């Protein structure tokens, strides 16, 4: 497997395109790319994220327990550097975004120790941002 990091492409459903466009652009600071009346491209930390309109459904949210916390499934996000993670967490907090899981360090003292936080976009898509003090621990067992 290649060790070169390639940008991923992820398309997610949103039931309010306007509200989510503002969230990804103005709250998370993602640069907007191409768009139509049904979808919008974003530069999501160097990756291509596309929000696609889909009517709202009432599917029940699912969680799995990780380190004693209820982690939403599915979720997506990026791994940030340690310093950027903490600055980003404060920026998100200052914008009054409600955390599903407040920023904290999990697996402390164990393989894979990481800072993590979870929150939802306006359409209920769960996002996780994390950071490792030692990036060599990213895939530690």
Could you tell me what percent of the chain has a pLDDT over 70? 99
What is this structure's pTM? 0.91
Average pLDDT, the chain: 94
Mean pLDDT lowest among 2-6, 21-25, 39-43, 70-74: 2-6
Angle among Cα 74, 75, 78 to the nearest 5 degrees reads: 150
Q: End-to-end alpha-carbon separation of the chain, Å?
A: 18
Total length of the chain: 141
43 has pLDDT over 90: yes
With a CB cutoff of 8 Å and minimum separation 6, the contacts of 41 are 32, 33, 34, 35, 48, 49, 50
Of the candidates 55, 69, 50, 65, the one whose C-alpha atom is nearest the C-alpha of residue 15 is 55
What is Dmax (Cα atoms) for the chain? 48
Q: Angle at CA 53, nearest 5°, toward 90 and 11?
A: 65
d(CA 51, CA 53) in angstroms, rounded, equals 7
Amino acid 5: pLDDT:
83
Q: State the CB neighbour count (10 A cutoff) for residue 115.
A: 18
**Residue 1 pLDDT level (bands cut at 50, 70, 90):** low
């Amino acid at each position: 497997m290649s060790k070169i990091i390639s940008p991923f492409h992820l398309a997610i459903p949103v039931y309010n395109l306007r509200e989510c466009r503002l969230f990804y652009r103005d709250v998370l600071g993602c640069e907007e790319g191409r768009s139509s009346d049904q979808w919008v491209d974003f530069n999501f930390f160097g990756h291509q994220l596309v929000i696609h309109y889909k009517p709202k459904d009432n599917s029940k949210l699912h969680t799995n327990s990780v380190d004693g916390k209820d982690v939403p499934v599915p979720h997506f996000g990026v791994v940030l550097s340690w310093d950027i993670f903490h600055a980003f967490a404060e920026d998100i907090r200052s914008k009054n975004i409600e955390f599903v899981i407040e920023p904290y360090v999990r697996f402390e003292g164990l393989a894979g120790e990481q800072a993590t936080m979870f929150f939802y976009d306006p359409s209920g898509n769960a996002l996780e941002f994390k950071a490792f003090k030692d990036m060599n621990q990213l895939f530690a067992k």
